[in-house]
Amino acid sequence: MVRVRYAPSPTGTLHIGGGRTALFNYLFARRYDGRLILRIEDTDETRKIPGSEEAMMRGLRSLGIVWDEGPDTPDAGFGPYRVSERLARHREAADRLLAEHKAYRCFCTPEELAEERKARQAQGLPPRYSGRCRSLSEDQVRARVGERSVVRLKVPGDGETVVHDLIRGDVRFGNRIFDDFVIMKPDYTPVYNFAVAIDDHDMKITHVIRGEEHLPNTPKQMFVMEALRMEPPQFAHLPMILAPDRSKVSKRHGATSVEEYRDQGIILPALANYLLLLGWSPPDGREILTVDEAAQEFSLERVQRTGAIYDQKKLEWMSHQYMTRLAVETIAEMVKPFIDYGLDTGPDFVDVVALSRERAYTLTQLAEQMRFFFEPPDRYEAKGVNKHFNPGTAARLRLLAERLLDLKTWDHDSLTGLYDQSAESLGVKRAELIHPTRLAVSGRTVGPGLFDVLELLGRDAVTERLRAAADRIESGQVVMAE
């Protein structure tokens, strides 16, 4: 059975790079009827942030990712799923390597190591550990019991290690670039590369799918597995997510965590859709597809090797596609957390969402664009005031209000006819009535079709707003929005 894992460190919220990695693991597991394991890499106590694990899980769920095994699921026989709860297993493996002379205790102090690195750099050599504790005898080690020490793995100094990468092909590393790296810290807890190799083996992980920044760690994990006589999993390293200028994505290019996108009002199914296309594409080239649809077609063969370019505009475009394609009732529920005005008075909420969503790219935009349906404007767009609130506008707005009060049928066609007739009787173009009306009832110069807006707002609200705008124009108290 295919078994893959996503193993984040609880050091913050879910970054889009981590979200993309988790998503690809999820798609791979579902494509091959496998299992996705969520494992929390919490070995570094100094970097752990309270609440981070829960935030990570929320972020994953918001992208539609459901794991089969993890800290919050019943143990399927491969747990526990927090690395900090597996320390006895890691210590047992380290003891075994020490007993088999495949690892050794190193008593070098941080100051001695720093001095050694400095000396090697002065000679033009790479700052590798020299291995001077490697030759200590058992008696010498016993004599220093109680001193601060770490455990280092004996790494072969010659030859090369080949990573058979399912995306990049064979990647070769000369073993000379690696020193005898630390596998257990002074407190006898494991470093990342030691723990992850053991845990991947014990959890029967078949494929390690992760970002390419982990590629240099792979030979070290293979050294550990070889020393412990473990069969390594297959590896696949995903391309990095890059900004348009091919630099590393940062906050200046847009939000960087799933929670930040959520707070911006990006529709999260759209974010999942966007992330799954960062480095992969379906055979038919579709751009709009759900996570479940992608799972039916996902393969590592279609993952690109080169960096995937992040584009905030494309993400917002995709959010807009979901805004207009999802059921209007679904969008109505999604937008409610972004609304800071009352909904007790005004038109039917779902009807307002249906009319307003065509112009919105995010839920925050949609919430703001709907505001005037529930709050009469107290200020008006400056460019609209300068262009449409001209001398004579107040009288026209009052005339329209009177005629609208007398209109027998309040619907789109009747409203259209009234404005056509009024423009003809006043000897003006219809636009000279439509634009001031839109500004008076909404405070804005653009929006959904005016007669759809008027029909939804209702007779009382429209006539009151037209008269209020006329009063402000005549008194010179028009407040312009910034």
Counts for the chain of helices (H) and strands (E), in that order: 21, 13
Asked if residues 238 and 34 have their Cβ atoms less than 8 Å apart, the reply is no
Distance of CA 292 to the CA centre of its chain: 18
105-110 long-range contacts (CB < 8 A, ≥24 apart) are 105/133, 105/136, 105/141, 105/144, 105/149, 105/150, 105/151, 105/152, 106/133, 106/149, 106/150, 106/151, 106/152, 106/180, 106/182, 107/133, 107/136, 107/144, 107/147, 107/148, 107/149, 108/132, 108/133, 109/148
Token pair 């690809």 in the structure block, residue: 24
Cβ proximity of 129 and 152 under 8 Å: yes
Are 454 and 415 in contact, with CB atoms under 8 Å apart? Answer: yes
**Are 362 and 264 spatial neighbours (Cβ–Cβ below 8 Å)?**
yes
CA dihedral 335, 340, 343, 346 (to 10 degrees): -100
Query: Which residue spans within 110-178 are E strands per DSSP?
Result: 150-153, 160-165, 169-174
DSSP secondary structure letter of residue 262: H
Using alpha carbons only, how large is the chain's radius of gyration in Å?
Answer: 32
Cis peptide before 80 (omega within 30 of 0): yes
Distance of CA 299 to the CA centre of its chain: 22
Calculate the alpha carbon distances from 199 to 141, 173, 245, 461 in Å.
Answer: 29, 23, 38, 65
251 is catalytic: yes
The burial of 265, by beta-carbon neighbours within 10 Å (0-12 exposed, 13-18 middle, 19 or more buried), is given as buried
- 103 Cβ neighbours under 8 A, 6+ residues apart: 94, 97, 151, 152, 153, 154, 183, 227
Stated length of the chain: 482
The active-site residue out of 154, 251, 313, 336 is 251
Distance CA 419, CA 404 (A): 9
Catalytic site positions: 251
